[in-house]
Copies of this chain bind each other. A is one copy, B any other.
Amino acid sequence: MKNWIDNVKWTDDGLVPVIVQDHISNKVIMFAWMNRLSLEASLKQKKAIYWSRSRNKIWTKGESSGYYQYIKDMIIDCDKDVVLIKVKQEGGISCHTGRESCFYYRVDMENNKIEECEKVLKNPDEIYKDEK
C-alpha cells in the first residue's frame, strides 16, 4: 500500500508548514517547517523535528534546551499541504524568547497597534543556545 507521506504536497523547496498546538489547551504555540526527512523522523521518534530554513538543516526542537515537543496527535489538512501537531511541550516554553508561545503580539484592532500578551517565563539566554 502506498505510504500516505507520498501524497503530501511539498513546497518547491520540499517543505510543509507545521502548526503546533498544546495538546491539552489547544493553544497555538509555534509555527515551523518540515521536510520529508524531518516529518518521517518526527513520526518515528514522536518528537517534533523540523527543517530550519535559517540554518538550512534538520533541527530537533529541544536539542540544546531539553525542551522537546512530544507529539501526541498529528492531523493533515484537506489539500495535504499543511501539518498540524498537538504536543506536550517539555518545560512549557516553546518560543526562543522564553515564552510559552511564539504568538505574543496581540493586535489591538481598534487602534491598529500591537501589544505583548505573553510573559517571558525564563531568560532565553539560559535556556536556548543555537536554537530558534
Contact = CB atoms under 8 A, between A and B. Distances in A.
Interface of A: 1, 3-4, 17, 19, 21, 25-28, 31, 43, 46, 71, 73-80, 82, 84, 95-97, 99, 102-107, 109, 112-114, 117
Contacts of A31: 17, 19, 77, 82
A109 B46 contact: yes
A104 B73 CA distance: 12
Nearest to A77: B102
Given A43-B107, A43-B112, A77-B102, 14 more contacts: A4-B105, A4-B113, A17-B17, A17-B31, A19-B28, A74-B106, A75-B104, A75-B107, A75-B117, A76-B114, A77-B105, A78-B96, A80-B105, A84-B103
